Amino acid sequence: MSGIVGSRLNNRGSGLIGSLGSDGQVLTSSGAGAGAVYEAAAGGMSVSDITGATDLAAIPDNTDELVLSDGGTLKRIDYINLAPFGSLGGSFTKGAQNDLTDSTWNKLLLDATTFNRGLTFGSSTITIPSGGDGDYFCSLLVDFATSKYAGLGSGSIAIYKNGGGIEYTVYDVRKAADDYNSRSCHIQWTGVIPALNATDTIEVYVNVIMDQTTTSSRQAEKTRITLFKMNNN
């Protein structure tokens, strides 16, 4: 007959299979013609499992999964929950934008992404996503250039939030309204944009005053804006 007899496991027609093990052990075959025995269950991951795995060699995606012990219980966690404040951030650029209208706020047409982790970017506009509420560190750099020596009078940059200017920086080398003393310059603004909320938009605008008496290109030669979330609202 088959079943448990005393402290042993029996199978009909085959005789004794093996002694009953202790709690947590598993029944393991010892090979053809040999009695099966109870042994400790094979362990989980070992050091060789980790060191022998393929190297990611990159910042994990927000949905990449890791395993950790929570009070002795293995649990899965997504990388986004380990990265500070959801790892929201990005850096966006524009090459030369020619023919800026003089003495007018011109929107810079950001069109390239260096990196983007979770922000929404399109039509030269950065949009805070759902769940992205918080204070953001921001750095903006714009290089201005004109083809004429002593053709640049001033340049200004502005960060617009939801269609209105909130931060401005000005470079002005004029001694008089029609005085022009520079050919190029770069302007930078670095600071914190507080209390951004989901659907808020960020855009870059510039204003240049250049010599109008001669033909001269007016351009923002290079632009980069970088921002990342610092904390939650």
The predicted-structure confidence for 34-76, as pLDDT tens digits, reads as follows 767 777 666 667 788 889 999 988 767 778 899 989 998 999 9
Q: Which helix (H) or strand (E) holds 48?
A: helix 47-51
Same domain, 116 and 100: yes
* pLDDT of the residue at 6: 47
**Taking Cα atoms as reference points, which of 167, 179, 164, 186 lies closest to residue 209?**
179
Q: Which domain holds residue 54?
A: 46-82
Q: Is the pLDDT reported for residue 18 higher than 60?
A: no
Same domain, 117 and 205: yes
**Taking Cα atoms as reference points, which of 224, 220, 205 lies closest to residue 93?**
224
The predicted-structure confidence for 169-220, as pLDDT tens digits, reads as follows 999 988 888 788 888 899 999 999 999 999 999 999 999 988 877 656 778 9
Farthest CA pair distance, the chain: 111
Same domain, 69 and 119: no
- Indicate the pTM of the whole model: 0.68
Q: How many domains does the chain have?
A: 3
* pLDDT of the residue at 119: 95
Beta-sheet pairing, 201-210 with 89-94: unpaired
For residues 83 and 174, give the distance between their C-alpha atoms in angstroms, rounded to a whole number. 47
Same domain, 76 and 93: no
Percentage of the chain beyond pLDDT 70 is 81
List all residues 6 or more positions away from 98 whose beta carbon is below 8 Å from its beta carbon. 217, 218, 219
Same domain, 177 and 147: yes
Question: Mean per-residue pLDDT for 152-168?
Answer: 96
**Taking Cα atoms as reference points, which of 134, 41, 28, 145 lies closest to residue 87?**
134
Residue 147 sits in a domain whose CATH number is 2.60.120.40
Same domain, 163 and 58: no
**Terminal-residue alpha carbon distance, the chain:** 71
Task: Specify burial of residue 120 (Cβ count, 10 A radius: 0-12, 13-18, 19+).
Answer: middle
Q: Is the pLDDT reported for residue 84 higher than 70?
A: no
